[in-house]
Structure 1
Amino acid sequence: MSVTSLIDTALDRSVVLGYGWPGLIVRRALPGWPDGPERMDGKVVLVTGAGSGVGLAAAIGFARLGASVRVLGRSRERAEEAAALTREQAGDDVDVRPVACDVSSLAALRDFTTRFLEQEDRLDVLVNNAGVMPDERQYSADGVELTFATHVLAPWVLIEELTPLLTRAAPSVVINVTSGGQYGQQLPAGDPESEDTSYNPKRFYARTKRAQVVLTEQWAERLREQGVHVHSMHPGWADTKGVRNWMPVFRAVTRPIIRTPAQGADTIVWLGSAHEATDSDGLFWHDRRPRPTTYTIGADDDPEEVRAELWEYVESVAHGERSA
């Protein structure tokens, strides 16, 4: 193993330094830091959860590269605010368009994807970034646990419904934004929505992020032959509105090293344009390098039957074949 790899791995395993801004700064200075991102003129990018934080930073980054960006917000007002903020940071001449959808609702997702398919000719990059962390157990309009509906079900539906546009733009990229917290959780066997687990916001958040990583690998296998490359990534510890609202103590403790949203979004924007993303499939990225999905210290890998159960469950709920 090279000195560069040793340093990079040490940062990753340290968590504190690797997930904070020091890790990114050190990695950028090491030999072999990947080039890019490259210009994206003529390409169409859709970013969910683009109203603030990492999602907004990603939208700004893509717009600066010349991409035509669709910023998705929960409401039309939120989406228009996100578009205005993106133009403010990326320049008035960029092509940024607001699109609205409550991604926790299957009906809203179907309405949105129907309209999107009619309005767009292609989709080069889909970034599934929308996230929630409610203080109490909540359910979507479809009766699905809200964290699961937002982090697991919504990306699955968006990928399935928008595959025709992704295929038309092939090679195209799907980026599922997850969390390093997924290392501490396994998929709950026989209980995909964790109904048998006492609600804990951080545990449910991390567990659904684990599910995102697993579904990323499954989608990558299914879409590879169509030229659609599906990856997941985690941004490290970024100073976002969600962290400030949902994890104030964590934010206070990590404040000296917490990343800016733009630093957290760096790998998203890079993956959207890098050949590394279309030369591979189903990887879990952090700071422009693929990472293991499990560590010796942390949760074990998920049994194949539990992984299959997750896919079957999400597919059945998405298609209305099972009551949540």
Structure 2
Amino acid sequence: MTPLPHVLARGVDTLLDRTVAPGFTRVGPAVRRRLPTWPDDPAPGALAGRTVAVTGATSGLGLTAAEGMARLGARVRLVVRDVEKGERVRAQLLADVPGTDVAVDRCDVADLDDVRRFAAELDVDRLDVLVHNAGALPAERTESPQGHELTMAVHVLGPVLMTELLRERLAGHDARVVLVTSGGMYAQGLRADDPAYRCGDYSGTTAYARSKRAQVELLPLLASRWAGQQVGVHASHPGWADTPGVVESLPGFHRVVGRLLRDPAEGADTTVWLSAVQPAPRSGQLWHDRRARPTHLLRRTRTPDAERDRMWDWVRATTGLDG
């Protein structure tokens, strides 16, 4: 029988989650860390001897996640578009985490040809953790070099293709793939009928949320596809975190909610935890503040299996997975 304090704690945790605003802000971790149901931190050195790669690692949640994993002993690959900026971050990490092993790799995740080049040139024989953190939220409809809508390219097509191309190096040793998603996806249903966002007036925030919804909807299919190689896949939504991307892309939201936003460490906490905790969490789930969460809060966003399969067919065809 579950002790009463744990039952009450789970009730508080769930209430924070379902009411959204309190749980997504800094209030969420401030309360949850004091509950008896809060999971233990990863053991010191939990990632010693393991290699992790983090996309979009030059600022915000990506930089903080890379630093958190370096402090747990990981060898870190910073996967970035701007190598000069990446080298500055590398120098910062070497100063903040003495003795760590950090390298910089160039890759534009939106460019599928560049993803293929990166995977072919990555000079590691084994990869233990791959964090897909790179993000985009354009004000106007923008296309990737291959002509795909940018948010879908950065958040779905690039990460799926990159993982597939690195699958042999991830396989066979409890490797983990983490998609950094967004609570904004709760407001959007899957649009398998219009993945390129060609219908209706374009909204960057809507496109962003749709692509994050696609990430989450594909989780069970990706978990099944990669299970044979012992590669687990997880999605982690950070809540509302104070990052340069939020300031730049959502200035009005930042002005209104700024004081309640999480700091980057609170936003990246679950990503680091998922990458290091033992035993490995069950693959194919959405996580927030170290607990698996429902993928839908609204009935109107629920996804029929046929729509999920239709989106997966588009991803496979667009990335050439089965070609």
Q: TM-score, normalised by structure 2?
A: 0.94
> Matched residues in 1 for 2:248 and 2:36: separation?
37
1:15: how far off?
A: 1.2
Once the two structures are superposed, residues 70-105 of structure 1 have per-residue CA deviations (whole angstroms, 9 ceiling, x without a partner) of 01111211321222232233x231111111111111
Which of residues 12, 20, 23 in structure 2 aligns to 1:15?
A: 20
1:145-294 map, 5 Å = 145-168=149-172, 170-276=173-279, 278-294=280-296
Q: Partner residue of 1:34?
A: 39
State whether structure 2 residue 87 is matched by structure 1 residue 86: no
1:216: how far off?
A: 2.1
Whether the 8 Å contact between 1:183 and 1:299 is mirrored in structure 2 is no
> Matched residues in 2 for 1:233 and 1:217: separation?
14
1:47-66 map, 5 Å = 47-66=54-73
> Matched residues in 2 for 1:88 and 1:263: separation?
22
Amino acid of the residue matched to residue 70 of structure 2? A
Question: Percent identity over the alignment?
Answer: 44
- What is the SS of the residue equivalent to 2:176? strand
1:258: how far off?
A: 0.4
1:112-123 map, 5 Å = 112-116=118-122, 119-123=123-127
Q: Partner residue of 1:313?
A: 314
Whether the 8 Å contact between 1:17 and 1:23 is mirrored in structure 2 is yes
* Bigger mean CA offset, 303-312 vs 284-293: 303-312
Q: Partner residue of 1:4?
A: 9
- What is the SS of the residue equivalent to 2:166? helix
Q: Which runs of 5+ in 1 are unaligned?
A: none
1:149: how far off?
A: 0.7
1:62: how far off?
A: 0.3
Amino acid of the residue matched to residue 104 of structure 2? P
Whether the 8 Å contact between 2:26 and 2:261 is mirrored in structure 1 is yes
* Bigger mean CA offset, 262-271 vs 91-100: 91-100
With over 3 angstroms needed to count, the CA separation of the structure-2 counterparts of 1:254 and 1:298, relative to structure 1, is farther
With over 3 angstroms needed to count, the CA separation of the structure-2 counterparts of 1:190 and 1:124, relative to structure 1, is same
How many corresponding residue pairs? 316
Q: Which runs of 5+ in 2 are unaligned?
A: 1-5
* Bigger mean CA offset, 3-12 vs 212-221: 212-221
Whether the 8 Å contact between 1:184 and 1:298 is mirrored in structure 2 is no
> Matched residues in 2 for 1:78 and 1:309: separation?
38
> Matched residues in 2 for 1:279 and 1:70: separation?
23
Q: TM-score, normalised by structure 1?
A: 0.94
> Matched residues in 1 for 2:269 and 2:195: separation?
31
> Matched residues in 1 for 2:254 and 2:71: separation?
29
